[in-house]
Structure 1
């Protein structure tokens, strides 16, 4: 159904005057008459009675007027939705996040993003860095919050946060008497760390810092999420590594100490397929960068 013909008909039906309807439609009066004739020919019905003194609608014209208004509204809504989709204002964004990222930054990112683009649905999945890289290549997720760097040149990664690891330990541990700790202080301790597959490079960096301090961990217990690490430290099973003060869970028998000197840092990045033009993705990256800047 031709939109121009419909708008001309609606204008004539509401004005019941060819000159006024033509002016409203930004068309000449003969042009308006031509549009009406073509519409009636298309429908094979007469829509308008016209005499020298009066313009009125036929019964078919009255019925068609109501439907023409609906069609025009539907067309306008379709255009509006298409433009919103193209601008990234509506749709769905699928996000992967590692366990630390899921807790430390994702809730604030989603809250801020939803305030800016409320009609874009965020779907989040708990995934390791390696799982996110594979999911990005397959197109299963649009963006991942993970631990850089990445090896795949088809993926880009924007660093959004860098926060130091703290040590969680039992109040019964003699190290709890110290106001702060260094890596060297940990030489005789059993380590409780996140599983290596969550962040292989970060895991290896922690071990390398131990070697730089002159020792190798006597034993490593892998645990996740951070609540499990805190609980195991409270049991005096070992000392745990937790990133960000947001993971300082209030747990009886557990206490926290900041590491001074060379210490591991948790780096979070937002990864995506390089050259992805999605406006919603670009806005998500901007929001993630803004939120990440305040992580401690």
Structure 2
């Protein structure tokens, strides 16, 4: 169905005057008459009664007027929807995230993203960093929130948050009486950590910091998400490391302490394919970086492990 013919028909049906309808349509009166004849021939139905004095709709024309308006509205909506999709203003965005990034950073990002792009549906999937990289390569997800370093050259990676770690322990643990602690204070404690697969380089670097302090953790319990680490530490089953932001959501009977000798920081990066990235993915990263700007106030020194050490202040 030709859109121009429909527009000419609706104009004449509403104006019931060839001169006004032609002016409204930006066409000559003979051109308007030709468009309407071609439409009637296509439909094999007479839509208009014509005379020298007046124009009126046939019964079929009255019915077709309603349908023509619907078709034109549908065409306009389809064009707008297509343009919005191409501009990244509508559609579905599939996001992968590690458990820690999901709990700590995703709420703030999604609040801003949904405010900016309310027509976009966000499908969030929890994955490890390695699983996200595979999903980005296969197209299973459009963007990931993971932990560097990222050595995959096919993926663009941008750090959007640097989260200081805090030690979490039971109020009943004697170490809780100290306002600050050093890693060497933890030599005889059971460690409660996120599973190594969540962020292998971060995990390994944390253990390396212990080795630098002169000991290896005697026992390590691996569990996720961060709330579970807090809960186990509160039960005095060991000491845990969680991003400091977790403390704001904690209602458990747990104590939080800063390490005196070093403040490890966990980097969260947004990643998407370098080749043909989804427009929505790039917008998600930009909005995420803005939402988490407060978590990048102090630049970490270059450290490809994704976990950096800052002297305590």
Asked whether the two chains share a fold, i.e. TM above 0.5, the reply is yes
Q: Deviations over 1:181-205 (max 9, x none)?
A: 1223222322111111111000001
Q: CA deviation at 1:277?
A: 4.1
Aligned length: 295
Counterpart Cα distance in 1 of 2:214 and 2:276: 45
What does residue 46 of structure 2 align with?
A: 46
What does residue 234 of structure 2 align with?
A: 234
What is the SS of the residue equivalent to 1:161? strand
What does residue 140 of structure 1 align with?
A: 140
What does residue 251 of structure 1 align with?
A: 252
Counterpart Cα distance in 2 of 1:234 and 1:17: 82
* Residue pair 1:99, 1:127 contacting (<8 A) in 2 also: yes
* Residue pair 2:192, 2:238 contacting (<8 A) in 1 also: yes
> Is 2:272 aligned against 1:267?
no
* Consecutive unaligned residues in structure 2, runs of 5 or more: 297-313
Counterpart Cα distance in 1 of 2:157 and 2:255: 34
Counting only pairs closer than 5 Å after superposition, residues 84-103 of structure 1 correspond to structure 2 as: 84-103=84-103
What does residue 74 of structure 1 align with?
A: 74
Q: 1:241 to 1:63 in 2, by over 3 A?
A: same
Cα RMSD after superposing both structures: 1.6
Counterpart Cα distance in 2 of 1:48 and 1:236: 86
Q: CA deviation at 1:161?
A: 0.4
* Residue pair 2:226, 2:246 contacting (<8 A) in 1 also: no
What does residue 209 of structure 2 align with?
A: 209
* Residue pair 2:142, 2:278 contacting (<8 A) in 1 also: no
What is the SS of the residue equivalent to 1:251? coil
What does residue 160 of structure 1 align with?
A: 160
What does residue 173 of structure 2 align with?
A: 173
* Residue pair 1:104, 1:244 contacting (<8 A) in 2 also: no
* Consecutive unaligned residues in structure 1, runs of 5 or more: none
Q: How high is the TM-score relative to the length of structure 2?
A: 0.89
Q: 4+ residue runs of structure 1 moved beyond 6 angstroms?
A: none
What is the SS of the residue equivalent to 2:185? helix
Q: Deviations over 1:231-277 (max 9, x none)?
A: 2222322211111232462322x211011333321110111111334
* Residue pair 1:209, 1:264 contacting (<8 A) in 2 also: no
Q: 1:245 to 1:56 in 2, by over 3 A?
A: closer
Counterpart Cα distance in 1 of 2:181 and 2:119: 47
Counterpart Cα distance in 1 of 2:273 and 2:247: 30
What does residue 15 of structure 1 align with?
A: 15
Of the structure 1 ranges 242-251 and 109-118, higher mean CA displacement relative to structure 2 is found in 242-251
